Amino acid sequence: MSIWRVILSIICPPLAVLDKGCGSIVIVFLLWLCGWVPGVIAALVILNNPKS
């Protein structure tokens, strides 16, 4: 995970997970609509997942 992805996930979490698939984008977007912090946490968790 690069520093640019971390910065992008803090600014706009759905953009940081664009290459992870449609499901990840939808989950992060919905959490981001509920609040900024849940969206950032979800984006960082998805980006740190070594299996994807």
Range of the domain at 26: 3-48
Q: What is the pLDDT of residue 52?
A: 61
Q: What is the pLDDT of residue 49?
A: 86
pTM of the full structure: 0.87
Query: Which residues touch 22 (CB under 8 Å, ≥6 apart)?
Result: none
How many structural domains are present in the chain?
Answer: 1
Q: What is the pLDDT of residue 18?
A: 92
Average pLDDT per consecutive 10 residues, the chain (52 residues; last block may be shorter): 90 93 93 94 91 70
